[in-house]
A = this chain, B = another copy of it.
Amino acid sequence: MGHRAGRDDRISTHVGLTARQWGADEVVYSGEEDSNMIESQEDIIERWGGDMEIRYTEEWKKEIRDFEGLKVHLTMYGLEINEEMKEIKKEFESSDDILIIVGAEKVPRWVYTHVDYNISVGNQPHSEIAALAVFMDRLNDGEMKKDFSDADIKVDPSEDRKITEEL
C-alpha cells in the first residue's frame, strides 16, 4: 500500500521478490500507478520463472473487503508475532487463502479495522520487507518456493562463487 513512483521503486520491488520467494500467487500494488516498477518485476519473473501475477489497483478498499480468506496487516504497532503466530497458522490452515498487507508509514486507520490481524514483527521502526519475509518464512515453516515453472535460468548453489545455468 502507498507505493510512490520513483521514491519507492526499489523497496516495492523487494516486496515483490520476497513475496515470490515464499510462494505468493499474486502481488497487488496500490498508491501511485507505476508500470515501470511492475514491468521490471515481470521481466525478472519471465527470466527466473514462476507464474506470480503482479498488478496495480486504485481500489485498495475493495481489494481488502472482497478478499475471501485470512487478512493480516503487518505493522510495527500490531500485536507481537511471537504471541499470535500459532493462532494465525491454525486459521490459515482452515482458510484457503491469505492476504498479507504491508505499507509505507501512513497506512490509514481503515486498514487496521478491516483485517483479521494487525501483527508486528518487532514493535520498533521496521522494514516492511523484513516483516513480510519473516512472517512468510514462519507461516511456511521455513520452506521457500523451490520450483519456478518455465525458468530460463537457475542458480547452482555454491560454496564460494556465482554459478548459474541456462535452461
Contact = CB atoms under 8 A, between A and B. Distances in A.
Contacts of A79: 157-159
Contacts of A80: 157
Binding site of A, secondary structure by majority: helix, strand, loop or mixed? mixed
Contact of A118 (B20, B112, B144, B158): B158
Interface size class of A (residues with CB under 8 A): 35 or more
A154 to B, nearest CB: 7
A15 B14 CA distance: 12
Given A123-B157, A133-B127, A137-B134, A82 B17 contact: no
Given A21-B130, A158-B118, A48 B125 contact: yes
Given A76-B155, A113-B160, 18 more contacts: A10-B11, A14-B127, A15-B127, A17-B125, A17-B127, A18-B130, A21-B121, A77-B157, A77-B158, A78-B158, A80-B157, A120-B155, A122-B145, A124-B144, A124-B148, A127-B133, A129-B129, A133-B134
